[in-house]
Amino acid sequence: MPTLSQILPNNYEKKIADTVYGLRKIQYPDDMPLIYDWMHKEHVIPQWQLNEPMPKLLAYYEKMIVDDHQRLYFITINGRAVGYIEVYEAARDRVRLYYDIEAADMGFHILLGETDVVGKGYAKPIIRCLTDFIFQNSRARKVIVEPDSKNKPMSKILNALSYEPQGELDMPEKVAMLYFCYRDTFYNAQNTSPVSA
């Protein structure tokens, strides 16, 4: 029987204004050179800490790809891969140790790899589309995310997209801020279901 993450589509596109945002399932090992490049970028290293030699990165992602509680995607803007997303089932992830989960909760981790999209206003529509993608294709009542509590730009974006802070999580690698985004609250704020341009 397919898991909650396995039933997610391999591809997704949504046009907002004149820009097409998308998700494309990672192809392992073909996509690894680009992931390797991003993991060695200065703005990525502090958060992800995966600036490893290619053999170690291949071994790490081989395990990630076969782990059926998550799906890995490239983020695309007008067809160009600019970042990376992990969409995961919270009930089967270590995050379940930190809050009272609901069985259908879904979460994500996001990386913007290309430096020319960082800090240029793309993160908000990307997360908006990602949230819509999860709600459209799962029975999740809420989407969760747990960025570093020191990441103030992310906090501002999440608050603007109806993600509600729940409190700090003392995790081994960071002090995270846990956010919940409820399906009804998200679509009421967008004034539409699903997200439209």
Alpha-carbon distance of 123 to 85, in angstroms, equals 12
> Is 70 exceeded by the pLDDT of residue 194?
no
pLDDT digits (tens, 9 = 90+) for 150-190: 999 999 999 999 999 999 999 999 999 999 999 999 999 98
Q: Which domains does the chain have, with CATH numbers?
A: 11-190 (3.40.630.30)
pTM attached to this predicted model: 0.93
pLDDT digits (tens, 9 = 90+) for 78-112: 999 999 999 999 999 999 999 999 999 999 999 99
177 burial via Cβ count (<10 Å: 0-12, 13-18, 19+):
buried
